[in-house]
Amino acid sequence: MPFLRHLRVLVVDDTNTSRMLVSSTLQEIGVLHIDFARDGRQALDKVMADAPHLVISDFNMPNMDGIEFLEAMRAYGPSSKTPFIMLSGKADRDLIQTAARCGANNVIKKPFTRQSLRAGIEAVVGRLQ
Amino acid sequence: MSNQGIMQVFFDECDEQLSELESNLLALEGGEHNLEAINAVFRAVHSIKGGAGAFGMEELVRFAHTFETILDQVREGDLTPDATVLKAMLKASDVLTDLVRCARDGENVAVADVEIVMEQLNALNGTEAEKEIDESDDDFEIEFQPVPVCLDDIDCTDAGEFARFEISFRPRPMLYENGNDAVYLLRELRSLGEIEVQCDADALPTLDEIEPEGAFLTWQVTLHTNSDESKVREIFEFVQWDCDLSISAGNSLACGEAGIPDKVEAHLCNPAVGPADPGQFDAGSEHAETINSEAAVAPEKPSKSANIQATIRVNLERVEQLINLVGELVINQAMLEQQAEVAGLDRTSAICSGLNDLQKLTKEIQDGVMAIRAQPVKPVFQRMHRIAREAGEATAKIIRLVTEGETTEVDKTVIERLTDPLTHMLRNAIDHGLESPEARVRAGKPEEGTICLSANHRSGRVVIEIADDGAGIDREKVRSIAVARGLIEADTALEAEDIDNLIFRPGFSTAEQVSDLSGRGVGLDVVRRAVEKLGGRVSIASQPGIGTKITMSLPLTLAVQEGMLVDVADHTLVVPLAAILESLKPRSDMVNEIGLGKRLIKLQDSFVPLVDVAETLGFRKAGIDPTQGVALLVETPGGTRCVLLVDAIQGQNQVVIKSVERHFSRVPGIAAATILGDGRVALIADTEDLVAHHQSVPERIEPKLTAMG
């Protein structure tokens, strides 16, 4: 997928471990431009400043959680349609319904594997490679 | 980054989360019922579970899951975090810590403990049935229906704004002469977007014809950028007369245009502008030990913002190297200063004032580098909570451990070596210091015993105190035990303070039966030795019925030491200042011969053995007349006092410690070496060793020390 080289992805997670796991999978797929934030608040700043093409965010984070971040992102015109994939350890009915209502594009259950993450991204952006 | 590398990051992060977990649980225990602390606790366990899941650490996930379930109930308000619940949670955090360690070291997990705590947690969770429901809930979980998007659209509109420039750039020799470099210009171009570079080296002559200061290379650059031409030209603004430059706007970039061969690109793949590092907040090395150094001045109570202070992780080796270099710098600076003096330069001369500035800067660099190694004592103090819990359980005492000054910073090595003595002292305070709850109530004290652990800086040293509100030292008992063990004579007159200090003597143990707690066959003398090995001192103060306080004073660093420079038979020797109590010029009436070549010095009312350093180290065959030398009264880590006889005192100096054991085997009587201002090597005396050898062997030590001098 040639556009992967130009794709700018924002990875949001409060733990370094998850950020690295996600980004190493993205790099494997061929994504070159990966930026990071460690909570919703910081992520929102980055969304407004850099307009990433895709956001992959954790749910449980300090300051501003994934859902709050998603809501704020959707409320902001330029990012109202930016694809949003949420990672969550707690993927119960409640959260999934809330995520869907707020306009998430996918929810990937944590712990994820490289395969499950990749599949979750492909379900949104189409097959990669 | 490899999976192995990420796993290392995970474990590092686990440590942080576990300490976060414990401190928040303790805050909750202390009565702070805020949602933020509960959330932080939940998040810590949740994150550990998440990471562990990604690496397939099932045992860890299973336990973390159970823990998390309870925490979730507390968070939802279904379970009140009362004393029982918090106790179980603290226990669970201990088990979690163990499980993480097991996963890291690949050790086997003590399953029994895990199961017991799991059951305790489940018991809090109402019923087993509830747990079943919880799990069946997972089965009924609905899958999220992905909402696909077409990224091609998004991207191509974006890409449409990209312009392509073809740049041909041929530097002339002038460009280099003026201090510019083609590489920098190319890097700057890359900052505008994606570049593809081809270097044309056809004009490069053969080696025998090459003009070394010539310029022969031409670069063809294709730049994809959303900047306009003026931005591109701006980069070449200062070199435009020193090169042949042509910039032409190409077609705008079509989505997915084929790139230039990867090889060329790879050359330019500089990490500085590559994909951002996921660890950018604490960017770092993959393995090796890392230290985390926050800004030197940390507030007593870190605010929330202090927690997210920007930090970097650096390989410890680099810091060590820097410290070594600074050590060399200090020596070099001292050497220059001495040379200036020898040369008889005027104090007001430019060189001397320059040297003065150098000295100031060197000192500042030294302090700065030392500050990098400095770490707050918090992790060590936090570990003590667990020790206190376990010791409390073992002795059936109710304990409250209060810690103060956790942000006090000390050298990493000092911190590492502090854990054992501190653990021992804490156990000792719980085991021997505090009374049983019944006895406390009888004495009109609260049932709960308080132990206060504090750290603070005092005159360039760090002082750590551990104070209990127990019964104080039973001096009668201590005295009778000391007599029974043959440490003192039955009729020795001792001040209260001296009696207290007896508990630090080797072979002293007050416990009538050795409990498995602080006992373990070692006494507080081991603590004292460990602390004094670090260049520290231990003192004790006790008031009957009110409590006991043990104070440790430690140097901030182990890399430099305050030392007394002395002359010993044409050699310069350094005696650690911390060991010296006083120095004096012996009069002949103070010296008493007691045969076998041994001599005693009478100081006030006691006799102290005299050690002729030159003779003991084998610098000289026979000892000198004490009245011709200088006597240094030293106290060894064992608590024995002794007088070291040296020829003369040169002065007091800060010395950089260099280990000799790497080059020589252990040299008796010598702790390390240092380099003096004039470049000579001086040995640093190991006072404990000197005294021990003097006591055990009447003859002198026979090392080939001449090889060193």
Q: Does residue B517 contact residue B432 with C-beta atoms inside 8 Å?
A: no
> Rounded distance, CA A57 to CA A14, Å?
10
Q: What is the pLDDT of residues B349-364, one digit of tens each?
A: 888 888 888 888 888 8
| 3-state DSSP assignment of residue B676 | coil
> Rounded distance, CA B624 to CA B616, Å?
12
C-beta neighbour count of A55 within 10 angstroms: 27
Q: Is residue A126 part of a domain?
A: no
Torsion of CA B513, B519, B523, B528, to 10 degrees: -150
Q: Does residue B376 contact residue B415 with C-beta atoms inside 8 Å?
A: no
Q: What are the φ/ψ torsions at residue B458 (nearest 5 degrees)?
A: -140, 120
Pick from A42, A67, A107, A2: nearest CA to B159: A2
Across-strand partners of B374? Answer: B411
What pLDDT score does B467 carry?
A: 93
> Rounded distance, CA A13 to CA A15, Å?
6
Q: Which range marks the domain in which residue A13 is found?
A: 2-121
> Rounded distance, CA A26 to CA A5, Å?
11
Q: What are the φ/ψ torsions at residue B533 (nearest 5 degrees)?
A: -60, -30
Nearest to A20 among B1, B257, B259 (CB): B1
> Rounded distance, CA B585 to CA B643, Å?
11
CB A16 to CB B278 under 8 A? yes
Cβ-count burial B158-182 (b if 16+ within 10 Å, e if not): bbeebbbbebebbbeeebeeeebeb
What pLDDT score does A107 carry?
A: 92
Nearest to A3 among B3, B42, B255 (CB): B255
Q: Does A120 touch chain B (CB under 8 A)?
A: yes
Pick from B641, B643, B649: nearest CA to B591: B643
Q: What are the φ/ψ torsions at residue B8 (nearest 5 degrees)?
A: -60, -45
Nearest to A6 among B5, B61, B155 (CB): B155
C-beta neighbour count of A49 within 10 angstroms: 9
Could you tell me where the DSSP H helices lie in B634-701? 687-696
What is the DSSP code (8-state) at residue B430?
Answer: I
Residue A55 parent element (H or E): strand A54-58
Q: Does residue B553 contact residue B462 with C-beta atoms inside 8 Å?
A: yes
Class of domain B162-251: alpha beta
C-alpha of B299 from chain center? 19
Instruction: Count CB pairs under 8 A between chains A and B.
Output: 145
Q: Does residue B51 contact residue B84 with C-beta atoms inside 8 Å?
A: no
User: Which residues numbered 40-99 in A keep a CB inside 8 Å of some CB on B?
Assistant: 53-54, 60-62, 81, 83, 89, 91-93, 96-97, 99
Residue B259 pLDDT more than 60? Answer: no
What pLDDT score does B335 carry?
A: 80
Contacts with B82 (C-beta within 8 Å, 6 or more apart), sequence order: none
CA distances from B281 to A10, A18, B276, B605 (A): 15, 13, 11, 63
CB B146 to CB A32 under 8 A? no
Q: What is the pLDDT of residues A33-71, one digit of tens each?
A: 899 998 999 999 999 888 899 999 999 888 899 999 999
Which chain B residues have a beta carbon less than 8 Å from that of A100?
144-145
The answer to whether the peptide bond before residue A111 is cis (omega within 30 degrees of 0) is yes
**What average pLDDT does range B58-81 have in this prediction?**
86
What is the DSSP code (8-state) at residue B673?
Answer: E
> Rounded distance, CA A52 to CA A8, Å?
5
CATH topology of domain B377-555: Heat Shock Protein 90 (3.30.565)
Contacts with B179 (C-beta within 8 Å, 6 or more apart), sequence order: none
CB A125 to CB B281 under 8 A? no
As given in the structure block, the two tokens for residue B100 are: 């993480």
Just give the CATH number of B560-707: 2.30.30.40
What pLDDT score does B589 carry?
A: 84
Q: Is residue A30 part of a domain?
A: yes
Q: What is the pLDDT of residues B150-201, one digit of tens each?
A: 776 554 444 445 677 888 888 888 888 888 888 888 888 888 888 888 888 8
The strand pair at B409-411 and B449-458 is best described as: unpaired
Residue B295 pLDDT more than 60? Answer: no
Q: Does B145 touch chain A (CB under 8 A)?
A: yes
Pick from B695, B696, B488: nearest CA to B610: B695
Pick from A36, A102, A117, A56: nearest CA to B275: A36
As given in the structure block, the two tokens for residue B514 are: 């050795």
Which chain A residues have a beta carbon less than 8 Å from that of B47?
14-15, 17-18
Could you tell me where the DSSP H helices lie in A11-79? 16-29, 40-50, 66-75
Give the domain CATH number at A54: 3.40.50.2300
What pLDDT score does A106 carry?
A: 93
Pick from B200, B286, B189: nearest CA to B231: B189
Q: How far is A102 from chain B (nearest CA, A)?
A: 12
| 3-state DSSP assignment of residue B245 | strand
Q: Does residue A10 contact residue A46 with C-beta atoms inside 8 Å?
A: yes
What is the DSSP code (8-state) at residue A1?
Answer: -
Which chain A residues have a beta carbon less than 8 Å from that of B48?
none
Round to the nearest angstrom and report the end-to-end CA distance of chain B. Answer: 50
**What average pLDDT does range B57-79 have in this prediction?**
86
Nearest to B49 among A89, A97, A103 (CB): A89
Cα dihedral across residues B349, B351, B354, B356: positive or negative: negative
Q: Does B269 touch chain A (CB under 8 A)?
A: no
Residue B33 pLDDT more than 80? Answer: no
Across-strand partners of B452? Answer: B402, B467
Q: Is residue A115 part of a domain?
A: yes
Nearest to A124 among B42, B148, B257 (CB): B148
What pLDDT score does B126 carry?
A: 61
Residue B646 parent element (H or E): strand B641-646
Number of domains in chain A: 1
Q: Is residue A128 part of a domain?
A: no
What pLDDT score does A113 carry?
A: 82
> Rounded distance, CA B382 to CA B23, Å?
7
What is the DSSP code (8-state) at residue B658?
Answer: B
What pLDDT score does B300 carry?
A: 40
Q: Does residue B342 contact residue B392 with C-beta atoms inside 8 Å?
A: no
Q: What is the pLDDT of residues B271-287, one digit of tens each?
A: 444 445 555 454 443 44
Please give the mean pLDDT across all residues of chain B: 77
User: Right CATH number for B3-139 from 1.10.3720.10, 1.20.120.160, 3.50.50.60, 3.20.20.370?
Assistant: 1.20.120.160
Q: Does A111 touch chain B (CB under 8 A)?
A: yes
User: Which residues numbered 7-46 in A keep a CB inside 8 Å of some CB on B?
Assistant: 7, 11, 14-24, 27, 31-36, 38
Q: What is the pLDDT of residues B392-413, one digit of tens each?
A: 888 888 899 999 998 888 888 8
Identify the residue among A16, A25, A129 best suited for mutation to test binding to B, counting B beta carbons within 10 A and taking the highest: A16
Q: What is the pLDDT of residues B452-503, one digit of tens each?
A: 999 988 766 788 999 999 888 888 888 888 888 877 888 877 788 788 888 8
Q: How confident is the model at residue B247 (pLDDT cuts 50, 70, 90)?
A: confident
Query: How open is the CA angle B485-B488-B493, to the nearest 5 degrees?
Result: 145
> Rounded distance, CA B81 to CA B195, Å?
59
Domain parsing of chain B, residue ranges: 3-139, 162-251, 317-375, 377-555, 560-707
> Rounded distance, CA B281 to CA B340, Å?
47
CB B54 to CB A125 under 8 A? no
Residue B138 pLDDT more than 80? Answer: no
Torsion of CA A20, A24, A26, A28, to 10 degrees: 180
Q: Is residue A112 part of a domain?
A: yes
Which chain B residues have a beta carbon less than 8 Å from that of A19?
278-279
> Rounded distance, CA A57 to CA B43, Å?
15
**Dihedral class, residue A7 (left if φ above 0, else alpha if ψ from -120 to 50, else beta):** beta
Q: Is residue A14 part of a domain?
A: yes
What pLDDT score does A71 carry?
A: 92
Identify the residue among B39, B47, B76 best suited for mutation to test binding to A, counting A beta carbons within 10 A and taking the highest: B47
What pLDDT score does B371 carry?
A: 79
Q: Is residue A129 part of a domain?
A: no
The three-state DSSP-derived secondary structure of B296-328 is CCCCCCCCHHHHCCCCCEEEHHHHHHHHHHHHH
